[in-house]
Amino acid sequence: DGGITQSPKYLFRKEGQNVTLSCEQNLNHDAMYWYRQDPGQGLRLIYYSQIVNDFQKGDIAEGYSVSREKKESFPLTVTSAQKNPTAFYLCASSAGLAVLEQFFGPGTRLTVL
């Protein structure tokens, strides 16, 4: 999991602003995922991508957008349409296809002021 990086570690945003969280991996993994974690809750899937230029909505995609232009990069944009964006955001990757183990990045803590 040391091959997955997220930046920044902490992010502060004013209401009404869009913000983009970075996720990069050098593991040559095909699949990448974005999760949101709130206190006392599990990890909820926002978006995932199995291959470049393709991605699918997860369980809580409203107010978020992603792109997958490169295999190693899967940025997440938190838009102003997301009503309660303050949370801990985790990116993960897996080798893809039948390889199911997911490895996580260190996370980005987003706070809306």
Q: Judged by CB under 8 A, how many residues of this single chain contact another protein?
A: 25
1 is a contact residue toward another protein (CB under 8 A): yes
Whole-angstrom CA distances from 98 to 6, 30, 50, 95 are 25, 11, 12, 8
62 is a contact residue toward another protein (CB under 8 A): no
**Cα–Cα distance, 97 to 90 (Å, whole number):** 21
Cβ neighbour number for residue 82 with a 10 Å cutoff: 21
The window from 18-26, 65-73, 77-85, 99-107 that contacts another protein (CB under 8 A) reads 99-107
Encoded amino acid at 49, one letter: S
**Nearer Cβ to another protein (81/99):** 99
DSSP 8-state assignment for residue 16: T
31 is a contact residue toward another protein (CB under 8 A): yes
Quickly tell me which residue has 């190693």 as its tokens. 72
108 is a contact residue toward another protein (CB under 8 A): no
Q: Which residues bind another protein (CB under 8 A)?
A: 1, 31, 35, 40-45, 48, 50, 58-59, 90, 94, 96-97, 100-107
